[in-house]
Amino acid sequence: MSRLVGKVLVAQGGGPTPVINQSVVGVALEARKFTQVTSVYGAVHGVRGIIDENFVDLTRETTHNLEQVSNTPSSGLLSTRDKPDEEYCERMFKVMQAHDIRYFFYVGGNDSSDTVRIVNEQAKAANYELRAIHIPKTIDNDLEENDHCPGFGSAARFVAQAFGGINLDNRALRGVYIGVVMGRHAGFLTASSALARKYVDDGPHLIYLPERAFDTDKFLADVDRIYKQHGLVTIAVSEGISDASGTPMITKLLGKEERDSHGNIQLSGTGALGDLLANTVRDGLGIKRVRSDTFGYLQRSFMGVVSDRDAREAREVGEKAVQFAMWDDVDGSVAIKRPVLDYSVDYQLVPIGNVAGKTRHMPDNFINAEGNGVTQEFHAYCRPLLGSGMPESHRLRAPSVAKILHV
Amino acid sequence: MSRLVGKVLVAQGGGPTPVINQSVVGVALEARKFTQVTSVYGAVHGVRGIIDENFVDLTRETTHNLEQVSNTPSSGLLSTRDKPDEEYCERMFKVMQAHDIRYFFYVGGNDSSDTVRIVNEQAKAANYELRAIHIPKTIDNDLEENDHCPGFGSAARFVAQAFGGINLDNRALRGVYIGVVMGRHAGFLTASSALARKYVDDGPHLIYLPERAFDTDKFLADVDRIYKQHGLVTIAVSEGISDASGTPMITKLLGKEERDSHGNIQLSGTGALGDLLANTVRDGLGIKRVRSDTFGYLQRSFMGVVSDRDAREAREVGEKAVQFAMWDDVDGSVAIKRPVLDYSVDYQLVPIGNVAGKTRHMPDNFINAEGNGVTQEFHAYCRPLLGSGMPESHRLRAPSVAKILHV
């Protein structure tokens, strides 16, 4: 048991997820039980809020409202794209010292975990006792050490429900449909579109992931084959697909790059990639009805589409983070393990260096040999993460009527 | 009571909705009760299926599966964009005669109602007894005589839930967000984004509709004003917005047009309009973080987002169509009236000429004086149509902590 008396600070970083507030509320409710904790602060706008001393006192928030916020998508404490360097972390650390912060919990992806690592090292160097724990979240599902990440299941559910509807729409009015899904380096979210399949001719028929080099000629040959077979094609594409040289397809199209403060090329918030690919199919194959949608921000913050399992786990990683800090008096990153595929989970605290700044990719056994689809192993992996009560499509099975005039 | 003995034919036309199968199932289940009805046929791919004699026998479909299909989005009988002329209708009519079709129900928008009108006139001219009834559906909500149209409530719910999430996302990572919503000539669906507002600073802060001329300078001034006020702007835009001369903004951008078989300019299935507007804001106001999403096909066929009220009404208009044909022995178009704003409905059969080929627009009292938003009258009109159990956002209300270092 930690004897460290002081304040808890919790913050959220990076892109929101539909369940990220569950983790903050898990921290707040659990931390409020410990007498060593003098107050539970939340930093507004992530690390930026720490620099600015922009804190709210979650000890003075009602339990009911915390529960309500936990069921609201996107970062309730607001977020930031700031990527702290050593000097930035030093300023954060100074503020933490001034406010007697002794427990720091940061909910975020691999950039955020790196921030936790730096701050923790600075505290050690200054001989200032600080428990610092990274709590995982990302719809990209790309954190090392984790079987899957909080936020992914709900976003995957959105993508699967979207493609379920697209299957029905594209069947009613046939053509080629391209849906562009978030995912810079990891294809998990795009791959989850495969869970929309119920009938043998259901799409997505083709799935293109950042883990495999995108080849336009191969793409056209794939589309042509499926179109001749079914008279329609439904395609899922990761926004991050790149050619064999590693150049993102969107950069090829735009002829320019827009970068965020992390130096990442902007992939979301534009329909350009989908439009490029649609034109490629139109021009290359002469198919008239080609449509593309870019799912954009809907997939990470849509209200009302949440995996109940994902929500529960997002709550638990927050709660566990506090328990590790309090009962075990240790630092690190909370990781979700899955001892049984279908289905149980276990939470472990892993060394933060195993997670910080690293990216996990789709393992080879999740991707088919042709590099344009997923395997049954991926289905088995992903299905439980979508949660209960997935809507299901049904088709008419009425027999055909014999023709009279056209016999 | 109609004494006309023969078959019932039901078909679906135009773009799908999340509840269009409710109407087909309403027709099928009700028609199967009448002894005059020898069989209930469904035409596959709308009017195209009639020309091709491509029918399925819904009399041989289980009640359970019909119920399952009724809860599945998009046209279960599949659809078509064919727009029948006189000669096309004559061929349809010949097929109907050959199969002893005596009751024709066509679920569709204003193009589809015009088809029903022509076929019915041809039957009269040929002295062939035929009951022909148009059953309304459209996510655009643009049919005359109807207070609102089946399909709209569910699509509006999707748009409201989407903007509810966007509000939270754009608040967490601030910038300008532009969401492009379906709606060629009528702005109802785009306007429904307003129902996402809960807190005073919630968006959409600006809503641009096809009913008002779009002026780029005015648009930039609007965005600039809101951005200075809130540090973020959330904008909803109809895909069909046009300038004062009536030229669609998307045509201006693309420098070319793609038209469907109805002669309509293709607006959906491309992110071009959103990208144009985003660039306009970036270049015109120098704001760095500007994002656009085009909701595309998700809003009309997404699985799992349905207004329960919309689903019930879509079922009822199908059932009522059969009852009008059988009990009252009349032709026309089923229309939804709303005697009490909040809330009751009444179904009437109106002359098909009042609906066929006509487009209803947003009434003036639904649009604000500046032409960049909606009124409380629209809120009161739209709210009940979204159905029960709308997800609601909640914010932290924890008090701020006094600064120590930055005092």
Give contacts of A393 with chain B, Cβ < 8 Å. 72-73, 303
For B48, which residue in chain A has the nearest alpha carbon?
Answer: A173
The answer to the question of residue A405 being in a domain is no
- Rounded (10°) CA dihedral B162, B163, B165, B166: 120
| Residues in chain B closer than 8 A to A262 (CB atoms) | none
Q: Same structural domain for residues B187 and B248?
A: yes
- The B residues from 301 to 330 touching A (CB cutoff 8 Å) are 301-305
**Distance between CA atoms of residues A270 and B1, nearest Å:** 57
Classify residue A1: in a domain, yes or no. no
The CA-based angle A188-A83-A314, given to 5 degrees, is: 45
- State residue A258's pLDDT score: 66
Least confident of A195-199, B189-193, B266-270: B266-270
Residue B392 and residue A214: Cα distance in Å, rounded?
41
Q: How many CA atoms lie within 13 A of A40 on its CB side?
A: 24
A171 touches chain B (CB under 8 A): yes
- Short-list B20, B343, A6, CA closest to B11: B20
A314: Cβ contacts below 8 Å, ≥ 6 apart: A17, A19, A20, A22, A23, A26, A137, A150, A151
Q: Measured on CA atoms in the order B156, B157, B160, B163, is the torsion positive or negative? A: negative
- Residue B262 banded pLDDT, cuts 50, 70, 90: low
pLDDT-based confidence at B11, cuts 50/70/90?
very high
pLDDT tens readout for residues A87-137: 999 999 999 999 999 999 999 999 999 999 999 999 999 999 999 999 999
Same domain assignment for residues A188 and A234: yes
Cβ atoms A237, A179 nearer than 8 A = yes
Q: Is the pLDDT of residue A261 over 70?
A: no
Same structural domain, A238 and A379: yes
Q: Same domain, yes or no, for A278 and A346? A: no
Radius of gyration of chain A (CA): 23
Distances (CA, A) of B383 to A79, B143, B300, B362: 31, 19, 18, 16
- Do A312 and A287 fall within a single domain? no
Residues A76, A67: Cα–Cα separation, whole Å: 12
Q: If pLDDT is split at 50, 70 and 90, which confidence band does B259 have?
A: low
CB proximity list for B368: less than 8 A, separation 6 or greater: B374, B375
Task: Give the model confidence (pLDDT) of B224-245 as tens digits.
Answer: 999 999 999 999 999 999 999 9
A93 and A161 in a single domain? The answer is no
The range of the structural domain enclosing residue B112 comes to: 6-150+306-354
Q: Report the phi/psi class of residue A66: left, alpha or beta, with left for phi > 0 and alpha for psi in -120 to 50.
A: alpha
CA torsion A389-A390-A391-A396 (nearest 10°) is -110
Residue B146 lies in a domain: yes
Annotated binding site of A for diphosphate: 15
Question: Which amino acid makes up residue A37?
Answer: V
Q: What is the pLDDT of residue B277?
A: 94
The enclosing H or E element of A347 equals strand A344-350
CB contact under 8 Å between B98 and A296, yes or no, is: no
Burial class (CB in 10 A: 0-12, 13-18, 19+), A340: exposed
- Looking at residue B22, what is its pLDDT? 98
Give the model's pLDDT for residue B406: 81
> Which whole number is the average pLDDT over B76-84?
93
Which two three-digit tokens encode residue B343?
């809330």
Q: Which residues pair with A56 in a beta bridge?
A: A42, B400
Q: What is the mean pLDDT of residues B164-175?
A: 96
For residues B300 and B251, membership in a common domain is answered with yes
- Contact at CB, A298 and B406, closer than 8 angstroms: no
**Given a cut of 90, is residue B332 above it in pLDDT?**
yes
H/E run at residue A134: strand A131-136
**How deeply is B90 buried, as exposed, middle or buried, from its count of CB atoms within 10 A (0-12, 13-18, 19+)?**
middle
Per-chain mean pLDDT for chain B: 95
Residues B242, B379 within the same domain? yes
Query: What is the number of structural domains in chain B?
Result: 2
- pLDDT tier for residue A2 given thresholds of 50, 70 and 90: confident
> What integer pLDDT is reported at residue B60 of this predicted model?
97
Residues B258 and B282 in one domain: yes
Q: Give the tens place of pLDDT for each residue, B85-132.
A: 999 999 999 999 999 999 999 999 999 999 999 999 999 999 999 999
Looking at residue B287, the DSSP 8-state letter turns out to be -
What does residue A180 show for φ and ψ, rounded to 5 degrees? Answer: -95, 125
CA angle A153, A155, A157 (to 5 degrees): 70
Q: Does A270 touch chain B (CB under 8 A)?
A: yes
Quote the pLDDT of residue A250. 87
Residue B195 pLDDT exceeds 70? yes
Q: Model confidence at A34, in pLDDT bands (50, 70, 90)?
A: very high
Q: Which of B63, B303, B388, B406 to mutate against chain A (most A CBs within 10 Å)?
A: B303
Structure tokens, A76: 């309730």
Between CA B5 and CA B102 the distance in angstroms is 7
Same domain, A333 and A221: no
What is the signed CA dihedral for B171, B177, B183, B187, rounded to 10 degrees?
Answer: 60
Per the domain annotation, does A143 fall within a domain? yes
Q: What is the CA radius of gyration of chain B?
A: 23
Top-confidence residue, A274 or A259 = A274
**Binding site, annotated residues of A for Mg(2+):** 110
A260 has a pLDDT exceeding 70: no
Q: Is A16 on the interface with B (CB under 8 A)?
A: yes
Rounded Cα gap, residues B215 and B201, in angstroms: 24
Closest CA to A69 of A109, A16, A110: A16
Beta strands in A44-77 (DSSP E): 55-57
Q: In 3-state terms, what secondary structure has residue A108?
A: strand
- Going by C-alpha positions, the residue among B255, B277, B297, B269 that lies closest to residue A281 is B269
Give the pLDDT band of residue A267 (cuts 50, 70, 90). low
Three-class HEC string of B341-373: CCCEEEEEEECHHHCCCCCCCCCHHHECCCCCC
In degrees and rounded to multiples of 5, residue B38 shows phi and psi of -80, -30
Band (pLDDT 50/70/90 cuts) for residue A270 is: confident
Three-state DSSP at B116 gives helix
Residue A65 lies in a domain: yes
Rounded Cα–Cα distance for residues B113 and B96 (Å): 17
In degrees and rounded to multiples of 5, residue B291 shows phi and psi of -130, 150
**Percent of chain B surpassing pLDDT 70:** 96
A230-246 average pLDDT score:
96
**Residue A346: which H helix or E strand, with range?**
strand A344-350
> Is A391–B303 a contact, with Cβ atoms under 8 angstroms apart?
yes
Convert the pLDDT of each residue in A7-23 to its tens digit. Answer: 999 999 999 999 999 99
Q: Which residues of A touch B292 (CB under 8 A)?
A: 269-271, 296
| B133-152 pLDDT, tens digit each | 999 999 999 999 999 999 99
pLDDT digits (tens, 9 = 90+) for A362-380: 999 999 999 999 999 999 9
E-strand spans in B44-127?
Answer: 55-57, 101-108
What 3-state DSSP class applies to B18?
Answer: coil
Under 8 Å CB-to-CB from B360, ≥6 apart: which residues?
B141, B142, B143, B144, B146, B186
Nearest alpha carbon to residue B318 among B1, B44, B22? B22
Asked if residue B40 belongs to a domain, the reply is yes
Minimum-distance CB partner of B398 among A61, A80, A406: A61
Q: Write out pLDDT tens, residues A246-255.
A: 999 988 866 6
Residues B283, B159 share a domain = yes
Here the tokens at position B52 are 């091709």
For tokens 């009109």, the residue is B381
Q: What is the CATH number of the domain that holds A198?
A: 3.40.50.460
**Residue B1: what pLDDT?**
87
CA atoms of B353 and A45, how far apart (whole Å): 58
Q: Return the structure tokens found at B230.
A: 């809130």
Q: Do B298 and A99 touch (CB under 8 A)?
A: no
Judged by CB atoms closer than 8 Å, whether chains meet at A173 and B293 is answered as: no
Contacts of B95 in chain A (CB under 8 A): 405
Cα A389–chain centre separation: 21
CA–CA distances in Å: residue A135 to residues A10, A319, A347: 10, 10, 11
Judged by a CB distance cut-off of 8 A, whether residue A54 touches chain B is yes
Torsion of CA B309, B313, B314, B319, to 10 degrees: 150
Residues B315 and B245 in one domain: no
Cis peptide bond upstream of A204, omega within 30: yes
Which residues, other chains included, contact B87 with Cβ-Cβ below 8 Å and sequence gap of 6+? none
Q: Decide: B204 and B236 in contact? Cβ < 8 Å.
A: yes
Please report where in the chains the tokens 């300078």 appear, as a residue.
B217
Considering chain A, what percentage of its residues have pLDDT values greater than 70? 96
Count other C-beta atoms under 10 Å from residue A251's C-beta.
16
Give the angle A330-A331-A333 at the CA atoms, nearest 5°. 125
- Are the C-beta atoms of residues B369 and B159 closer than 8 Å to each other? no
Smallest CA-to-CA distance from A276 within A318, A313, A241 is with A241
Instruction: Show Cβ contacts of residue B170 under 8 Å, excluding neighbours closer than 6 positions.
Output: B177, B203, B232, B234
Is the residue at A403 inside a domain? no
The reply to whether B399 falls in a domain is no
Q: Rounded to an integer, what distance in angstroms lies between the CA atom of residue B294 and that of residue A256?
A: 22
Cα separations in angstroms, A174 against A203, A336, B81: 12, 41, 10
Query: So what's the pLDDT on residue A287?
Result: 95
Strand order in A290-294's β-sheet?
A206-208, A233-238, A176-181, A290-294
CA A217 vs CA A91, A280, A282: distances in Å? 51, 10, 13
Terminal Cα-to-Cα distance of chain A (whole angstroms): 84
Tokens matching residue B46: 């709308």
What is the domain-level CATH number for residue B69? 3.40.50.450
Contact B69 A394 (CB under 8 A): yes
Q: Half-sphere exposure (CA, 13 Å, Cβ side) for B158?
A: 32
User: What is the largest distance, in Å, between two alpha-carbon atoms of chain A?
Assistant: 91
In DSSP notation, B150-186 reads TTHHHHHHHHHHHHHHHHHHHHHS-SEEEEEE--SS-
